[in-house]
Homo-oligomer: A and B are copies of this chain.
Amino acid sequence: MKISELVEGVLAGRRRELARLISMIENEDPAAAEALSLIYKHTGHAHIIGITGPPGSGKSTIVTRLTGEYRKRGKTVGIIAVDPSSPFSGGALLGDRIRMQEHSLDKGVFVRSMGSRGHLGGIARATSDVVRAIDASGKDIIMVETVGAGQSEVEIIDIAHTVIVTDVPGSGDDIQAIKAGIMEIADIFVVNKKDLPGADKKVVEINAMLDLDQNMGMWRPPIVLTNARTGEGIPELADKIEEHMKYLIESGTLEKKGLQRSREELEQLMEYRLTQELLTHLQNSPEYESAIRKIAKRDDDPYTVAQRLIAEFLAEYTQREGE
């Protein structure tokens, strides 16, 4: 398939071409960059929602319920489940197939799982590109759900307009400590499984934490109580998400974030490509391997060698250009 046909298919919202482009992004196919460059001006319409929180807090069920709610409201939905600890990518994680069964025949819903395999440029960058592809395909809402703990949850703020942090009543202190880093990125808190004892206490805890936040802007993250299993609280959650977007637009935050995001993305892209060019250059350099051996033996030091190799790379480039 030609790139122009692929792009046309994605822009027309065709599932097959979209899935194909996403696989190309995941496999670092050079043609993916060309396609992404062509679709870029058709992006920026979707509301991108990040959903994160500790394992067992019901993220997947919330995403499924929100999807139903959005479909009722006439909106199309894209879902990306990111699990950096999983080696599996593709549209076919068993759990996703089961939980999304009710939406599997709905053309207004597109689901994709992403694992860690094959993302040489990092899962965050791949996720950002996949979000862009789904955005260009015309989905109104894109939900990015991260599984597991750590870095990936924090990176979600770079991509999402609205970050939802989920929690459950009665989670212990151990979990609490782990979550500290992700509480700060929340635009909306969800206390799920509100039927469990301790839901009110959890709300009090989150409010106490918010009262202490010195850096809070005009938006105080609301706390929504849900029972995702029964669907209770889901329409309220969808309302709060919409309110947050309204706030982002009216306060000028959306525009400011857009500029910041463009800057970061440009820098990351340049860093990645420049490094790729350098490494390609080094692969053909006979002294590279012996330089590494010398460093390991302490006959040379990595700081000096790095400087020398960069200078050689730039000089080589100069020669090539001058020919």
Within A121-157, the residues touching B (CB, 8 Å) are 148-151
* Stretch from A158-166, A168-176, A236-244 at the B interface: A168-176
Of the candidates B259, B269, B296, the one whose C-beta lies within 8 Å of that of A259 is: B296
Decide if A275 is an interface residue (CB 8 Å cutoff): yes
* Stretch from A2-10, A218-226, A307-315 at the B interface: A307-315
Of the candidates B173, B263, B274, B318, the one whose C-beta lies within 8 Å of that of A56 is: B173
Decide if A58 is an interface residue (CB 8 Å cutoff): no
Alpha-carbon separation in the docked complex, A40 to B40 (Å): 46
Within A19-33, the residues touching B (CB, 8 Å) are 33
Number of interface residues of A (CB under 8 A): 66
Task: Specify how many copies of this chain sit in the oligomer.
Answer: 2
Nearest B residue to A255, CB-CB: B296
Alpha-carbon separation in the docked complex, A234 to B317 (Å): 56
Report yes or no: A302 in contact with B40, Cβ–Cβ below 8 A.
Answer: yes
Decide if A181 is an interface residue (CB 8 Å cutoff): yes
Alpha-carbon separation in the docked complex, A314 to B265 (Å): 20
* Stretch from A188-196, A197-205, A209-217, A287-295 at the B interface: A287-295
Decide if A177 is an interface residue (CB 8 Å cutoff): yes
Q: What B residues does A307 contact at CB under 8 A? A: 273
Q: What B residues does A275 contact at CB under 8 A? A: 270-271, 274-275
Told that A37-B303, A270-B278, A317-B318 touch, could you supply 18 new A-B pairs with CB distance under 8 A?
A: A41-B301, A54-B174, A55-B178, A56-B174, A148-B177, A148-B180, A149-B149, A151-B151, A258-B296, A259-B293, A266-B309, A271-B271, A273-B306, A274-B275, A274-B313, A275-B275, A314-B317, A318-B322
